[in-house]
Structure 1
Amino acid sequence: MFRGFYTVASGMLSQQRKTEMLTNNMSNANTPGYKADQASMRAFPEMLMDRMDSSSIPTEKKLSLPFNQRVGALNTGVYMQETIPSFVQGDLQETGRGLDVALLDGSMPVDEETGVRGSVFLTVEGQDGSPRYTRNGNLTVNGNGFLTTNSGFYMLDENGDRIQLESDQFTVGENGQIVVDGNAVATLGVGYSDNPNQLVKQGDGLFATEGNAALPDAYAEDNVSFAAKQGFLERSNVDASRTMTDMMSAYRAFEANQKVLQAYDRSMEKAANEIGRVNG
Protein backbone atom coordinates (compact mmCIF):
# COMPACT_ATOMS: atom_id res chain seq x y z
CA MET A 1 0.00 0.00 0.00
CA PHE A 2 2.71 2.49 0.97
CA ARG A 3 4.64 1.70 -2.21
CA GLY A 4 1.63 3.00 -4.11
CA PHE A 5 1.82 6.28 -2.19
CA TYR A 6 5.47 6.73 -3.18
CA THR A 7 4.81 5.89 -6.84
CA VAL A 8 1.89 8.31 -7.13
CA ALA A 9 3.77 11.06 -5.30
CA SER A 10 6.73 10.74 -7.66
CA GLY A 11 4.36 11.08 -10.62
CA MET A 12 2.82 14.24 -9.16
CA LEU A 13 6.21 15.80 -8.44
CA SER A 14 7.55 15.08 -11.94
CA GLN A 15 4.45 16.56 -13.60
CA GLN A 16 4.63 19.62 -11.35
CA ARG A 17 8.25 20.23 -12.35
CA LYS A 18 7.39 19.73 -16.00
CA THR A 19 4.57 22.27 -15.70
CA GLU A 20 6.95 24.78 -14.11
CA MET A 21 9.40 24.28 -16.98
CA LEU A 22 6.67 24.74 -19.61
CA THR A 23 5.38 27.84 -17.83
CA ASN A 24 8.87 29.33 -17.93
CA ASN A 25 9.04 28.58 -21.67
CA MET A 26 5.74 30.37 -22.24
CA SER A 27 6.83 33.40 -20.23
CA ASN A 28 9.90 33.70 -22.49
CA ALA A 29 8.08 33.15 -25.77
CA ASN A 30 8.85 36.76 -26.77
CA THR A 31 12.41 36.89 -25.39
CA PRO A 32 14.93 37.26 -28.25
CA GLY A 33 17.28 34.30 -28.60
CA TYR A 34 15.58 32.25 -25.87
CA LYS A 35 16.02 28.49 -26.19
CA ALA A 36 13.10 26.42 -24.94
CA ASP A 37 13.77 23.77 -22.31
CA GLN A 38 12.76 20.16 -22.88
CA ALA A 39 12.10 17.65 -20.10
CA SER A 40 13.73 14.25 -19.89
CA MET A 41 11.49 11.85 -17.96
CA ARG A 42 12.89 8.62 -16.57
CA ALA A 43 11.45 5.76 -14.55
CA PHE A 44 13.17 4.67 -11.39
CA PRO A 45 14.91 1.30 -11.83
CA GLU A 46 12.51 -1.61 -11.50
CA MET A 47 12.92 -3.95 -8.56
CA LEU A 48 12.57 -7.68 -9.03
CA MET A 49 10.70 -9.01 -6.00
CA ASP A 50 11.09 -12.48 -4.53
CA ARG A 51 9.21 -14.03 -1.63
CA MET A 52 11.43 -15.82 0.85
CA ASP A 53 9.99 -19.14 1.98
CA SER A 54 11.08 -22.54 3.22
CA SER A 55 10.09 -26.12 2.64
CA SER A 56 10.17 -28.85 5.29
CA ILE A 57 11.61 -32.25 4.46
CA PRO A 58 10.10 -35.15 6.44
CA THR A 59 13.23 -36.50 8.02
CA GLU A 60 14.14 -37.38 11.57
CA LYS A 61 15.73 -33.96 12.11
CA LYS A 62 12.96 -32.15 10.19
CA LEU A 63 15.19 -30.32 7.75
CA SER A 64 13.93 -27.00 6.41
CA LEU A 65 15.29 -25.78 3.05
CA PRO A 66 14.95 -22.06 2.25
CA PHE A 67 13.96 -21.01 -1.26
CA ASN A 68 12.81 -17.88 -3.07
CA GLN A 69 9.61 -17.65 -5.03
CA ARG A 70 9.57 -15.10 -7.83
CA VAL A 71 6.84 -12.46 -7.36
CA GLY A 72 7.61 -10.16 -10.28
CA ALA A 73 8.85 -6.69 -11.16
CA LEU A 74 7.85 -3.57 -9.25
CA ASN A 75 8.11 -0.09 -10.78
CA THR A 76 8.76 2.55 -8.13
CA GLY A 77 7.77 5.69 -10.05
CA VAL A 78 9.05 8.36 -12.41
CA TYR A 79 11.18 11.48 -12.11
CA MET A 80 12.30 14.38 -14.29
CA GLN A 81 15.96 13.63 -14.82
CA GLU A 82 17.02 16.91 -16.42
CA THR A 83 16.01 19.78 -18.66
CA ILE A 84 17.84 20.26 -21.95
CA PRO A 85 17.50 23.40 -24.08
CA SER A 86 16.52 22.99 -27.71
CA PHE A 87 19.07 24.79 -29.88
CA VAL A 88 16.92 24.83 -33.01
CA GLN A 89 17.21 28.28 -34.56
CA GLY A 90 14.30 30.64 -33.96
CA ASP A 91 12.76 32.74 -36.71
CA LEU A 92 14.52 35.99 -37.63
CA GLN A 93 12.46 39.12 -37.05
CA GLU A 94 13.38 42.29 -38.91
CA THR A 95 13.50 45.29 -36.57
CA GLY A 96 15.32 47.86 -38.70
CA ARG A 97 17.30 48.82 -35.57
CA GLY A 98 21.03 49.12 -36.17
CA LEU A 99 21.84 47.82 -32.68
CA ASP A 100 20.09 44.51 -33.28
CA VAL A 101 22.19 41.62 -34.58
CA ALA A 102 21.11 38.02 -35.22
CA LEU A 103 23.21 35.00 -36.09
CA LEU A 104 21.91 33.03 -39.04
CA ASP A 105 23.09 29.41 -38.95
CA GLY A 106 24.51 28.03 -42.14
CA SER A 107 26.36 24.73 -42.34
CA MET A 108 26.83 23.13 -38.93
CA PRO A 109 28.53 19.75 -38.41
CA VAL A 110 26.40 16.98 -36.91
CA ASP A 111 27.93 14.40 -34.56
CA GLU A 112 27.45 11.00 -36.22
CA GLU A 113 27.16 9.14 -32.91
CA THR A 114 24.84 11.45 -30.96
CA GLY A 115 23.10 13.23 -33.83
CA VAL A 116 23.69 16.57 -32.04
CA ARG A 117 24.10 19.56 -34.34
CA GLY A 118 26.70 22.19 -33.50
CA SER A 119 25.76 25.81 -32.84
CA VAL A 120 27.34 29.28 -32.75
CA PHE A 121 26.90 31.97 -30.10
CA LEU A 122 27.72 35.62 -29.56
CA THR A 123 30.43 36.04 -26.92
CA VAL A 124 29.90 38.32 -23.91
CA GLU A 125 31.75 38.95 -20.68
CA GLY A 126 30.18 37.47 -17.57
CA GLN A 127 30.07 39.17 -14.19
CA ASP A 128 33.11 37.17 -13.09
CA GLY A 129 35.07 38.20 -16.21
CA SER A 130 34.86 34.79 -17.87
CA PRO A 131 33.18 34.36 -21.27
CA ARG A 132 29.47 33.70 -21.60
CA TYR A 133 27.47 32.94 -24.72
CA THR A 134 24.10 34.07 -26.00
CA ARG A 135 21.86 34.16 -29.06
CA ASN A 136 20.20 37.40 -27.94
CA GLY A 137 21.59 40.16 -30.17
CA ASN A 138 19.50 42.98 -28.70
CA LEU A 139 22.47 45.33 -28.11
CA THR A 140 23.10 48.86 -26.90
CA VAL A 141 26.02 51.25 -26.41
CA ASN A 142 26.60 52.36 -22.81
CA GLY A 143 27.75 55.76 -21.59
CA ASN A 144 31.43 54.83 -22.03
CA GLY A 145 30.95 53.74 -25.62
CA PHE A 146 31.14 50.00 -24.95
CA LEU A 147 28.88 47.67 -26.89
CA THR A 148 26.77 45.68 -24.44
CA THR A 149 23.75 43.43 -24.34
CA ASN A 150 20.45 44.92 -23.24
CA SER A 151 21.14 43.37 -19.80
CA GLY A 152 24.46 45.23 -19.50
CA PHE A 153 26.95 42.47 -20.32
CA TYR A 154 29.94 43.59 -22.40
CA MET A 155 30.18 42.22 -25.93
CA LEU A 156 33.56 40.72 -26.75
CA ASP A 157 35.45 40.70 -30.04
CA GLU A 158 37.18 37.71 -31.61
CA ASN A 159 40.22 38.33 -29.39
CA GLY A 160 38.17 38.32 -26.19
CA ASP A 161 38.38 42.11 -25.67
CA ARG A 162 35.53 44.52 -25.00
CA ILE A 163 34.23 46.39 -28.03
CA GLN A 164 34.37 50.19 -27.65
CA LEU A 165 32.81 52.43 -30.30
CA GLU A 166 32.81 56.16 -30.90
CA SER A 167 29.08 56.19 -31.63
CA ASP A 168 26.10 53.92 -32.14
CA GLN A 169 26.21 54.61 -35.87
CA PHE A 170 27.95 51.53 -37.22
CA THR A 171 27.36 48.68 -39.59
CA VAL A 172 27.87 44.97 -39.06
CA GLY A 173 28.79 42.87 -42.07
CA GLU A 174 27.68 39.28 -42.54
CA ASN A 175 31.21 38.26 -41.58
CA GLY A 176 30.71 39.90 -38.17
CA GLN A 177 32.98 42.85 -38.91
CA ILE A 178 31.97 46.16 -37.28
CA VAL A 179 32.58 49.21 -39.47
CA VAL A 180 32.48 52.85 -38.32
CA ASP A 181 32.90 55.66 -40.86
CA GLY A 182 34.23 53.18 -43.41
CA ASN A 183 36.86 51.75 -41.05
CA ALA A 184 36.75 48.23 -39.59
CA VAL A 185 37.12 48.64 -35.83
CA ALA A 186 36.34 45.15 -34.49
CA THR A 187 34.81 41.77 -35.25
CA LEU A 188 32.03 40.29 -33.17
CA GLY A 189 33.24 37.40 -31.06
CA VAL A 190 31.44 34.22 -32.06
CA GLY A 191 32.05 30.91 -30.32
CA TYR A 192 31.29 27.46 -31.68
CA SER A 193 30.11 24.46 -29.67
CA ASP A 194 30.06 21.03 -31.30
CA ASN A 195 27.75 19.80 -28.50
CA PRO A 196 25.64 22.68 -27.17
CA ASN A 197 23.80 20.26 -24.85
CA GLN A 198 26.87 20.38 -22.61
CA LEU A 199 26.49 24.12 -22.04
CA VAL A 200 25.13 25.29 -18.70
CA LYS A 201 22.06 27.51 -18.98
CA GLN A 202 22.15 30.66 -16.85
CA GLY A 203 19.98 33.73 -16.42
CA ASP A 204 19.55 36.58 -18.95
CA GLY A 205 19.73 34.15 -21.87
CA LEU A 206 23.37 33.30 -21.19
CA PHE A 207 25.17 29.97 -21.45
CA ALA A 208 28.47 28.91 -19.94
CA THR A 209 30.82 26.01 -20.46
CA GLU A 210 31.84 23.68 -17.65
CA GLY A 211 34.74 25.33 -15.88
CA ASN A 212 33.98 28.61 -17.72
CA ALA A 213 36.40 27.70 -20.50
CA ALA A 214 36.20 29.64 -23.76
CA LEU A 215 34.54 28.04 -26.78
CA PRO A 216 36.58 27.67 -29.98
CA ASP A 217 36.53 30.62 -32.38
CA ALA A 218 33.74 29.92 -34.88
CA TYR A 219 35.57 31.84 -37.63
CA ALA A 220 38.45 29.37 -37.50
CA GLU A 221 36.31 26.21 -37.51
CA ASP A 222 36.20 24.14 -40.71
CA ASN A 223 32.79 23.22 -42.14
CA VAL A 224 31.10 25.89 -39.99
CA SER A 225 29.28 28.71 -41.78
CA PHE A 226 27.04 31.44 -40.42
CA ALA A 227 26.12 35.06 -41.08
CA ALA A 228 25.55 38.09 -38.86
CA LYS A 229 22.37 39.95 -39.81
CA GLN A 230 22.16 43.56 -38.67
CA GLY A 231 18.67 44.94 -38.10
CA PHE A 232 17.31 41.50 -37.18
CA LEU A 233 16.64 39.64 -33.95
CA GLU A 234 16.38 35.90 -33.49
CA ARG A 235 13.05 35.14 -31.87
CA SER A 236 12.67 32.45 -29.22
CA ASN A 237 12.14 28.94 -30.54
CA VAL A 238 9.19 28.33 -28.18
CA ASP A 239 6.23 26.76 -30.01
CA ALA A 240 3.39 28.40 -28.09
CA SER A 241 0.60 26.10 -29.28
CA ARG A 242 2.58 22.93 -28.58
CA THR A 243 3.68 24.26 -25.20
CA MET A 244 0.07 24.94 -24.22
CA THR A 245 -0.90 21.42 -25.29
CA ASP A 246 1.97 19.93 -23.27
CA MET A 247 0.94 22.00 -20.24
CA MET A 248 -2.61 20.64 -20.44
CA SER A 249 -1.29 17.07 -20.74
CA ALA A 250 0.97 17.56 -17.72
CA TYR A 251 -1.93 19.01 -15.74
CA ARG A 252 -4.19 16.07 -16.64
CA ALA A 253 -1.46 13.60 -15.66
CA PHE A 254 -1.01 15.42 -12.34
CA GLU A 255 -4.78 15.34 -11.79
CA ALA A 256 -4.95 11.60 -12.54
CA ASN A 257 -2.19 10.87 -10.01
CA GLN A 258 -4.02 13.05 -7.51
CA LYS A 259 -7.19 10.95 -7.91
CA VAL A 260 -5.20 7.76 -7.31
CA LEU A 261 -3.63 9.30 -4.22
CA GLN A 262 -7.08 10.16 -2.88
CA ALA A 263 -8.22 6.57 -3.48
CA TYR A 264 -5.21 5.27 -1.53
CA ASP A 265 -6.01 7.73 1.25
CA ARG A 266 -9.60 6.48 1.50
CA SER A 267 -8.41 2.88 1.59
CA MET A 268 -5.99 3.63 4.41
CA GLU A 269 -8.75 5.45 6.28
CA LYS A 270 -11.01 2.38 6.02
CA ALA A 271 -8.21 0.11 7.16
CA ALA A 272 -7.53 2.28 10.19
CA ASN A 273 -11.08 3.19 11.23
CA GLU A 274 -13.22 0.23 10.18
CA ILE A 275 -11.26 -2.95 9.51
CA GLY A 276 -8.96 -2.38 12.46
CA ARG A 277 -11.76 -1.47 14.86
CA VAL A 278 -11.87 -3.62 17.99
CA ASN A 279 -15.42 -4.46 19.07
CA GLY A 280 -15.94 -4.53 22.81
Structure 2
Amino acid sequence: MLRSMITASNTLGQLQQQLDLIGNNMANIDTQGYKRTQTGFSDLLHQQMNNGDPHDSPDGRSTPLGVRSGTGAVLTAHTAFSQGGIKTTGRELDFALTKPGQFLQVEAGGEIQYTRDGALYLNPAQDGRLQLVTSEGHAVLDANQNPIFLDASFKNSTVSAGGRLTANPSGETVQLGIVGITQQTMLEKQGGNRYALKEIAPNGTVAFLEPEQVGIKQGALEMSNVDLSKEMTDLMIAQRSYQLNSKSITMGDQMLGLINSVR
Protein backbone atom coordinates (compact mmCIF):
# COMPACT_ATOMS: atom_id res chain seq x y z
CA MET A 1 0.00 0.00 0.00
CA LEU A 2 2.81 2.40 0.82
CA ARG A 3 4.39 1.75 -2.59
CA SER A 4 1.13 2.50 -4.43
CA MET A 5 0.57 5.66 -2.40
CA ILE A 6 4.10 6.92 -3.10
CA THR A 7 3.67 6.20 -6.82
CA ALA A 8 0.35 8.07 -6.91
CA SER A 9 1.68 11.05 -4.95
CA ASN A 10 4.66 11.37 -7.31
CA THR A 11 2.30 11.46 -10.29
CA LEU A 12 -0.10 13.92 -8.62
CA GLY A 13 2.61 16.56 -8.40
CA GLN A 14 3.38 16.20 -12.10
CA LEU A 15 -0.31 16.33 -13.03
CA GLN A 16 -0.68 19.56 -11.08
CA GLN A 17 2.12 21.08 -13.13
CA GLN A 18 0.38 19.96 -16.32
CA LEU A 19 -2.87 21.58 -15.19
CA ASP A 20 -0.99 24.82 -14.52
CA LEU A 21 0.59 24.79 -17.99
CA ILE A 22 -2.74 24.06 -19.69
CA GLY A 23 -4.33 26.92 -17.76
CA ASN A 24 -1.51 29.23 -18.88
CA ASN A 25 -2.07 28.23 -22.51
CA MET A 26 -5.80 28.94 -22.26
CA ALA A 27 -5.19 32.29 -20.56
CA ASN A 28 -2.98 33.37 -23.49
CA ILE A 29 -5.28 32.28 -26.31
CA ASP A 30 -5.66 35.94 -27.41
CA THR A 31 -2.04 36.96 -26.78
CA GLN A 32 -0.38 37.86 -30.07
CA GLY A 33 2.70 35.81 -30.89
CA TYR A 34 2.23 33.46 -27.92
CA LYS A 35 3.48 29.88 -28.38
CA ARG A 36 1.74 27.13 -26.46
CA THR A 37 3.50 24.74 -24.11
CA GLN A 38 3.14 21.10 -25.18
CA THR A 39 3.05 18.60 -22.33
CA GLY A 40 3.51 14.84 -22.09
CA PHE A 41 4.50 12.14 -19.62
CA SER A 42 7.18 9.49 -19.39
CA ASP A 43 7.66 6.74 -16.82
CA LEU A 44 10.06 7.05 -13.95
CA LEU A 45 12.40 4.14 -13.24
CA HIS A 46 10.78 0.74 -12.67
CA GLN A 47 11.79 -1.56 -9.84
CA GLN A 48 12.07 -5.29 -10.47
CA MET A 49 10.69 -7.46 -7.66
CA ASN A 50 11.55 -11.12 -8.25
CA ASN A 51 9.45 -13.85 -6.65
CA GLY A 52 11.13 -16.93 -8.03
CA ASP A 53 14.21 -18.38 -9.64
CA PRO A 54 14.55 -17.21 -13.27
CA HIS A 55 15.97 -20.67 -14.13
CA ASP A 56 12.64 -22.21 -13.16
CA SER A 57 10.73 -20.06 -15.64
CA PRO A 58 8.41 -22.08 -17.88
CA ASP A 59 9.39 -22.60 -21.49
CA GLY A 60 8.51 -19.70 -23.74
CA ARG A 61 8.84 -16.99 -21.11
CA SER A 62 11.39 -14.36 -22.18
CA THR A 63 11.29 -12.31 -18.98
CA PRO A 64 12.21 -13.35 -15.43
CA LEU A 65 9.63 -14.19 -12.82
CA GLY A 66 8.46 -11.21 -10.82
CA VAL A 67 6.77 -7.84 -11.12
CA ARG A 68 8.11 -4.60 -12.53
CA SER A 69 6.69 -1.87 -10.30
CA GLY A 70 6.70 1.71 -11.50
CA THR A 71 7.42 4.71 -9.27
CA GLY A 72 5.21 7.26 -11.03
CA ALA A 73 5.40 9.54 -14.05
CA VAL A 74 7.40 12.65 -14.87
CA LEU A 75 6.10 15.59 -16.88
CA THR A 76 7.89 16.63 -20.06
CA ALA A 77 7.14 20.07 -21.48
CA HIS A 78 8.38 22.00 -24.49
CA THR A 79 7.28 25.06 -26.43
CA ALA A 80 5.50 24.40 -29.74
CA PHE A 81 6.72 27.06 -32.20
CA SER A 82 4.19 26.34 -34.93
CA GLN A 83 2.84 29.29 -36.91
CA GLY A 84 -0.17 31.11 -35.47
CA GLY A 85 -3.00 32.67 -37.42
CA ILE A 86 -2.59 36.13 -38.99
CA LYS A 87 -5.03 38.85 -37.89
CA THR A 88 -5.30 42.05 -39.92
CA THR A 89 -5.31 45.18 -37.75
CA GLY A 90 -4.59 47.97 -40.25
CA ARG A 91 -2.20 49.62 -37.76
CA GLU A 92 1.07 50.75 -39.35
CA LEU A 93 3.30 49.67 -36.47
CA ASP A 94 1.82 46.15 -36.26
CA PHE A 95 4.01 43.55 -37.96
CA ALA A 96 3.26 39.84 -38.32
CA LEU A 97 6.11 37.40 -38.91
CA THR A 98 4.77 35.02 -41.55
CA LYS A 99 7.54 32.42 -41.46
CA PRO A 100 8.04 30.05 -38.49
CA GLY A 101 11.40 30.10 -36.74
CA GLN A 102 11.94 33.84 -37.24
CA PHE A 103 12.07 36.28 -34.33
CA LEU A 104 12.40 40.02 -33.76
CA GLN A 105 15.39 41.03 -31.63
CA VAL A 106 14.74 43.23 -28.59
CA GLU A 107 16.86 44.44 -25.68
CA ALA A 108 15.49 43.54 -22.26
CA GLY A 109 17.31 43.41 -18.95
CA GLY A 110 20.58 44.37 -20.64
CA GLU A 111 20.59 41.35 -22.96
CA ILE A 112 19.33 40.48 -26.40
CA GLN A 113 16.08 38.54 -26.37
CA TYR A 114 13.64 37.41 -29.04
CA THR A 115 9.90 37.78 -29.60
CA ARG A 116 7.19 37.01 -32.16
CA ASP A 117 4.99 39.83 -30.85
CA GLY A 118 4.96 42.47 -33.57
CA ALA A 119 2.86 45.16 -31.83
CA LEU A 120 5.36 48.05 -31.75
CA TYR A 121 5.17 51.64 -30.50
CA LEU A 122 7.15 54.89 -30.53
CA ASN A 123 8.54 56.44 -27.34
CA PRO A 124 10.11 59.93 -27.11
CA ALA A 125 13.88 59.73 -26.67
CA GLN A 126 16.06 62.21 -24.76
CA ASP A 127 17.56 63.64 -27.95
CA GLY A 128 14.16 64.58 -29.34
CA ARG A 129 13.89 61.56 -31.63
CA LEU A 130 11.44 58.69 -31.40
CA GLN A 131 12.50 55.19 -30.33
CA LEU A 132 10.83 52.02 -31.62
CA VAL A 133 9.84 49.81 -28.68
CA THR A 134 7.64 46.83 -27.80
CA SER A 135 4.36 47.13 -25.88
CA GLU A 136 6.37 46.71 -22.64
CA GLY A 137 8.83 49.46 -23.57
CA HIS A 138 11.77 47.26 -24.55
CA ALA A 139 13.99 48.58 -27.33
CA VAL A 140 13.56 47.00 -30.77
CA LEU A 141 16.90 46.31 -32.45
CA ASP A 142 17.97 46.66 -36.06
CA ALA A 143 20.00 44.22 -38.14
CA ASN A 144 23.20 45.44 -36.41
CA GLN A 145 21.65 44.90 -32.95
CA ASN A 146 21.37 48.64 -32.29
CA PRO A 147 18.24 50.40 -30.94
CA ILE A 148 16.06 51.95 -33.64
CA PHE A 149 15.49 55.72 -33.54
CA LEU A 150 13.33 57.70 -35.97
CA ASP A 151 13.10 61.40 -36.72
CA ALA A 152 10.63 63.40 -34.61
CA SER A 153 8.82 64.41 -37.81
CA PHE A 154 7.54 60.83 -38.15
CA LYS A 155 4.04 60.67 -39.62
CA ASN A 156 3.70 57.14 -40.95
CA SER A 157 5.79 54.20 -42.12
CA THR A 158 5.92 51.41 -44.64
CA VAL A 159 7.57 48.04 -44.18
CA SER A 160 8.63 45.79 -47.01
CA ALA A 161 8.15 42.03 -46.98
CA GLY A 162 11.88 41.77 -46.23
CA GLY A 163 11.64 43.85 -43.05
CA ARG A 164 12.92 47.22 -44.28
CA LEU A 165 11.11 50.06 -42.49
CA THR A 166 10.79 53.44 -44.23
CA ALA A 167 9.70 56.42 -42.13
CA ASN A 168 7.77 59.25 -43.75
CA PRO A 169 8.19 62.13 -44.44
CA SER A 170 11.91 61.98 -43.60
CA GLY A 171 12.49 58.99 -45.87
CA GLU A 172 14.99 57.36 -43.52
CA THR A 173 15.15 53.57 -43.70
CA VAL A 174 16.22 50.87 -41.27
CA GLN A 175 16.35 47.07 -41.47
CA LEU A 176 14.47 45.44 -38.61
CA GLY A 177 16.58 42.95 -36.65
CA ILE A 178 14.84 39.73 -37.62
CA VAL A 179 16.79 36.51 -37.12
CA GLY A 180 16.18 32.82 -37.58
CA ILE A 181 16.61 30.39 -34.68
CA THR A 182 17.86 27.07 -36.05
CA GLN A 183 17.44 25.14 -32.79
CA GLN A 184 14.31 26.46 -31.10
CA THR A 185 14.72 24.00 -28.22
CA MET A 186 17.55 26.29 -27.10
CA LEU A 187 15.05 29.07 -26.32
CA GLU A 188 13.56 29.48 -22.87
CA LYS A 189 10.62 31.70 -21.92
CA GLN A 190 11.41 34.91 -20.05
CA GLY A 191 7.87 36.22 -19.55
CA GLY A 192 6.28 39.06 -21.46
CA ASN A 193 6.22 36.89 -24.61
CA ARG A 194 10.02 37.00 -24.89
CA TYR A 195 12.65 34.28 -25.18
CA ALA A 196 16.35 34.08 -24.38
CA LEU A 197 19.00 31.62 -25.51
CA LYS A 198 20.08 28.99 -23.02
CA GLU A 199 23.70 29.11 -21.92
CA ILE A 200 24.28 25.71 -23.53
CA ALA A 201 23.13 26.93 -26.95
CA PRO A 202 25.77 26.04 -29.56
CA ASN A 203 27.31 28.56 -31.92
CA GLY A 204 25.21 29.12 -35.00
CA THR A 205 21.88 28.80 -33.21
CA VAL A 206 21.00 32.37 -34.26
CA ALA A 207 21.08 32.90 -38.04
CA PHE A 208 21.19 36.47 -39.34
CA LEU A 209 18.82 36.65 -42.29
CA GLU A 210 19.04 38.46 -45.60
CA PRO A 211 16.01 40.62 -46.50
CA GLU A 212 14.87 38.11 -49.12
CA GLN A 213 14.71 35.41 -46.42
CA VAL A 214 12.47 37.42 -44.09
CA GLY A 215 8.68 37.04 -44.07
CA ILE A 216 6.81 40.00 -42.57
CA LYS A 217 3.39 41.58 -43.12
CA GLN A 218 2.59 45.14 -42.12
CA GLY A 219 -0.76 46.03 -40.56
CA ALA A 220 -1.26 42.56 -39.09
CA LEU A 221 -0.37 40.50 -36.03
CA GLU A 222 0.39 36.83 -35.55
CA MET A 223 -1.99 35.42 -32.96
CA SER A 224 -1.27 32.59 -30.53
CA ASN A 225 -1.10 28.99 -31.75
CA VAL A 226 -3.31 27.74 -28.90
CA ASP A 227 -6.11 25.40 -29.99
CA LEU A 228 -8.86 25.78 -27.39
CA SER A 229 -10.53 22.45 -28.23
CA LYS A 230 -7.24 20.58 -27.74
CA GLU A 231 -6.52 22.39 -24.48
CA MET A 232 -9.98 21.54 -23.15
CA THR A 233 -9.48 17.87 -24.10
CA ASP A 234 -6.07 17.78 -22.41
CA LEU A 235 -7.58 19.50 -19.37
CA MET A 236 -10.31 16.89 -18.96
CA ILE A 237 -7.83 14.02 -19.37
CA ALA A 238 -5.52 15.56 -16.76
CA GLN A 239 -8.41 16.08 -14.34
CA ARG A 240 -9.51 12.45 -14.67
CA SER A 241 -5.95 11.26 -14.14
CA TYR A 242 -5.71 13.46 -11.06
CA GLN A 243 -8.93 11.96 -9.69
CA LEU A 244 -7.69 8.43 -10.38
CA ASN A 245 -4.43 8.95 -8.50
CA SER A 246 -6.23 10.72 -5.66
CA LYS A 247 -8.56 7.74 -5.35
CA SER A 248 -5.56 5.40 -5.30
CA ILE A 249 -4.13 7.25 -2.30
CA THR A 250 -7.51 7.19 -0.54
CA MET A 251 -7.91 3.44 -1.09
CA GLY A 252 -4.38 2.77 0.13
CA ASP A 253 -5.05 4.81 3.26
CA GLN A 254 -8.27 2.90 3.92
CA MET A 255 -6.55 -0.48 3.52
CA LEU A 256 -3.75 0.56 5.87
CA GLY A 257 -6.43 1.58 8.36
CA LEU A 258 -8.03 -1.86 8.09
CA ILE A 259 -4.69 -3.56 8.64
CA ASN A 260 -3.93 -1.42 11.68
CA SER A 261 -7.34 -2.15 13.15
CA VAL A 262 -6.80 -5.93 13.10
CA ARG A 263 -6.28 -7.29 16.64
Give the TM-score normalised by structure 2.
0.86
In structure 1, the partner of 2:190 is 202
Equivalent residues, number = 243
Once the 2 structures are TM-superposed, how far is the Cα of residue 126 of structure 1 from its aligned partner? 1.6
The answer to whether the aligner puts 1:164 opposite 2:149 as a matched pair is: yes
In structure 1, the partner of 2:206 is 215
2: CA distance between counterparts of 1:174 and 1:163?
Answer: 18
Once the 2 structures are TM-superposed, how far is the Cα of residue 51 of structure 1 from its aligned partner? 5.3
In structure 2, the partner of 1:109 is none
| 2:206 match: secondary structure | coil
Which of 138, 142, 167 is the aligned partner of 1:180?
A: 167
Q: Confirm or deny: 8 A CA contact 1:41 1:78 kept in the other structure.
A: yes
Runs of 4+ in 1 over 4 A off after TM superposition: none
Once the 2 structures are TM-superposed, how far is the Cα of residue 136 of structure 1 from its aligned partner? 0.3
Once the 2 structures are TM-superposed, how far is the Cα of residue 184 of structure 1 from its aligned partner? 4.2
Which of 69, 78, 84 is the aligned partner of 1:74?
A: 69
In structure 2, the partner of 1:44 is 44
CA RMSD of aligned residues (A): 2.0
Query: Which deviations, in whole Å up to 9, do the C-alpha atoms of 1:114-166 show, x marking residues without a partner?
Result: xxxx71101101212x2100000011001221100001110000000000112
| 1:197 match: secondary structure | helix
In structure 1, the partner of 2:56 is none
Superposed, which structure 2 residues align to 1:97-246 within 5 Å?
Answer: 97-105=91-99, 119-128=101-110, 130-144=111-125, 145-166=130-151, 167=154, 169-181=156-168, 183-211=171-199, 215-219=206-210, 225-246=213-234
Q: Which residue identity lines up with residue 174 of structure 2 in the other structure?
A: A
2: CA distance between counterparts of 1:256 and 1:77?
Answer: 13
Q: Confirm or deny: 8 A CA contact 1:141 1:168 kept in the other structure.
A: no
In structure 2, the partner of 1:86 is 80
Q: What residue ranges of structure 1 are gaps of 5+ in the alignment? A: 54-68, 106-117
2: CA distance between counterparts of 1:24 and 1:160?
Answer: 31
| 1:97 match: secondary structure | coil
Q: Confirm or deny: 8 A CA contact 1:32 1:136 kept in the other structure.
A: yes
Question: Mean alpha-carbon deviation: is it higher for 199-208 or for 71-80?
Answer: 71-80
1: CA distance between counterparts of 2:176 and 2:194?
Answer: 16
2: CA distance between counterparts of 1:168 and 1:208?
Answer: 33
2: CA distance between counterparts of 1:50 and 1:184?
Answer: 77
In structure 1, the partner of 2:238 is 250
1: CA distance between counterparts of 2:167 and 2:124?
Answer: 18
2: CA distance between counterparts of 1:177 and 1:184?
Answer: 10
2: CA distance between counterparts of 1:194 and 1:185?
Answer: 28
1: CA distance between counterparts of 2:40 and 2:116?
Answer: 23
Question: Mean alpha-carbon deviation: is it higher for 91-100 or for 203-212?
Answer: 203-212
2: CA distance between counterparts of 1:46 and 1:204?
Answer: 40
1: CA distance between counterparts of 2:207 and 2:73?
Answer: 38
Q: Confirm or deny: 8 A CA contact 2:178 2:214 kept in the other structure.
A: no
Q: Which residue identity lines up with residue 214 of structure 2 in the other structure?
A: F
In structure 1, the partner of 2:57 is none
| 1:191 match: secondary structure | strand
In structure 2, the partner of 1:26 is 26
| 1:202 match: secondary structure | strand
Q: Confirm or deny: 8 A CA contact 1:31 1:236 kept in the other structure.
A: yes
2: CA distance between counterparts of 1:225 and 1:43?
Answer: 42
Q: What residue ranges of structure 2 are gaps of 5+ in the alignment? A: 54-63
Query: Which deviations, in whole Å up to 9, do the C-alpha atoms of 1:193-217 show, x marking residues without a partner?
Result: 1111221111001111123888221
Q: Confirm or deny: 8 A CA contact 2:52 2:66 kept in the other structure.
A: no
Q: Confirm or deny: 8 A CA contact 1:14 1:80 kept in the other structure.
A: yes
| 2:41 match: secondary structure | strand
Question: Mean alpha-carbon deviation: is it higher for 183-192 or for 209-218?
Answer: 209-218
